[in-house]
Amino acid sequence: MARNLDLTALRAFMVTADTGGVTRAASLLNLTQSAVSMQIKRLEEALARPFFFRNARRLTLTPEGEQLLAYARRMLSLNDEVLARLTDTALVGELRLGVPHDIVFPAMPDILKHMAQCYPRLRINLTSSFTLPMKEALARGELDLILTTEEEPGPGGEALARHDLVWVGAPGGTASQARPLRLGFEETCKFRPIALAALDGAGIPWEMGFTGRSNEAVQAMIAADLALTARMRGRFSKGSAEVPAQAGLPALGDMCICLYDSGLRKGPAVEDLKAHIRVAYAA
């Protein structure tokens, strides 16, 4: 006789795997920690194998758990898509989302794909800009949700994760050895004054190799090994690499990824989008 997997337990397993712990998963699922743990235990008992290596700091997947996670994503994606297409609960209209250009990848494409599958009647308009103009647009009611990169969250902001700010250049490049050090920053980039202050404090001469408002032009200079810039660790685009510590450049501190909600749009789709953003950017 055919058996059916419990989709609720699969979702608890998937969110726990994505967040690395039961506590965070319980918060995102609006469940108690014991309820999440019990669902995972039932799933392991049903399939007669463990899916997590358990230690004091973080849960990690066993080989069987990695295999199950791939299936769980597909099954839950189809489940959510069916519910969205065959019920009237899907949000209709437009949702305006702002994300700084330097943290769009790698998380945002998968988030947008999920939303398109689950809420086909919802159109998400993505704005890619810098933190200050997006916060101003949010205050004017021109954006519904925004992500920012800031030292600390402002009023109404939710801190998702904190990452080191690092020097970035071309993979295997030599631009870090030049003096004065050539830099590439869009003129309103929030990381620019932080980098300049760090270099001045370390007594390292610098010159700006780019003036303007084109992040694509900055990226082209970085990829060509003509300049350095600063980015959040692990959040820079292809063709860039973290400058090794032996280059002797000063530390830049860390920055926080924050989420702001204007409160203008309500409903399950908005909450689903926020939940996926929290998981992806906290990872």
Residue 134 sits in a domain whose CATH number is 3.40.190.290
Do residue 128 and residue 183 come from a single domain? yes
Do residue 220 and residue 236 come from a single domain? yes
- In the prediction, which pLDDT does 56 show? 62
Question: The tokens 């086909």 sit on which residue?
Answer: 120
Do residue 140 and residue 266 come from a single domain? yes
Do residue 173 and residue 278 come from a single domain? yes
Whether 62 maps to a domain, the answer reads yes
Do residue 150 and residue 72 come from a single domain? no
Whether 97 maps to a domain, the answer reads yes
Do residue 243 and residue 155 come from a single domain? yes
- In the prediction, which pLDDT does 1 show? 63
Tell which of 86, 111, 129 closes a domain: 86
pLDDT in tens, the chain (283 residues): 678 999 999 999 999 999 888 988 998 888 999 999 999 999 999 999 999 998 767 789 999 999 999 999 999 989 987 877 776 555 568 899 999 988 998 899 999 998 988 888 889 999 999 899 999 999 999 999 999 999 999 999 999 999 999 999 999 999 999 999 999 998 888 899 999 999 999 999 999 988 777 888 888 999 999 999 999 998 777 789 999 999 999 999 999 999 999 999 988 889 999 999 999 998 6
What is the C-alpha separation between 98 and 260, in angstroms, rounded?
A: 10
What is the C-alpha separation between 22 and 241, in angstroms, rounded?
A: 33
CATH code assigned at 77 = 1.10.10.10
Query: What residues does 207 pair with on adjacent strands?
Result: 182
Which domain covers residue 67, as residue numbers? 7-86
What is the C-alpha separation between 282 and 24, in angstroms, rounded?
A: 10
In order of 201, 208, 226, 244, 254, the CA distances from 205 in angstroms are 10, 11, 16, 19, 23
Do residue 103 and residue 230 come from a single domain? yes
Whether 58 maps to a domain, the answer reads yes
Structure tokens at 81: 């898509």
Whether 75 maps to a domain, the answer reads yes
Do residue 63 and residue 186 come from a single domain? no
What is the C-alpha separation between 15 and 222, in angstroms, rounded?
A: 36
pLDDT tens per residue, range 87-141: 655 556 889 999 998 899 889 999 999 898 888 888 999 999 989 999 999 999 9
Tell which of 86, 117, 136 closes a domain: 86
Do residue 139 and residue 46 come from a single domain? no
Exposure string over 107-140, b if 16+ CB within 10 A, otherwise e: bbeebbebbeebbeebebeeeebbbeebbebbee
Do residue 125 and residue 173 come from a single domain? yes
Q: Quote the number of domains for the chain.
A: 2
Tell which of 86, 121, 156 closes a domain: 86
What is the C-alpha separation between 268 and 238, in angstroms, rounded?
A: 34
pLDDT tens per residue, range 42-58: 999 999 999 999 876 77
Which amino acid is located at 277 in the chain? I
The neighbour count for residue 281, using CB atoms within 10 Å, is: 20
CA-angle at 254, arms to 130 and 204, nearest 5°: 90
Per-residue 3-state assignment (H helix, E strand, C coil) for the chain:
CCCCCCHHHHHHHHHHHHHCCHHHHHHHHCCCHHHHHHHHHHHHHHHCCCCEECCCCCCEECHHHHHHHHHHHHHHHHHHHHHHHHCCCCCCEEEEEEEEHHHCCCCHHHHHHHHHHHCCCEEEEEEEECHHHHHHHHHCCCCCEEEEEECCCCCCCEEEEEEEEEEEECCCCCHHHCCCEEECCCCCCCHHHHHHHHHHHHCCCEEECCCCCCHHHHHHHHHCCCCEEEEECCCCCCCCEECCHHHCCCCCCEEEEEEEECCCCCCHHHHHHHHHHHHHHHC
Do residue 106 and residue 176 come from a single domain? yes
Whether 262 maps to a domain, the answer reads yes
Do residue 219 and residue 273 come from a single domain? yes
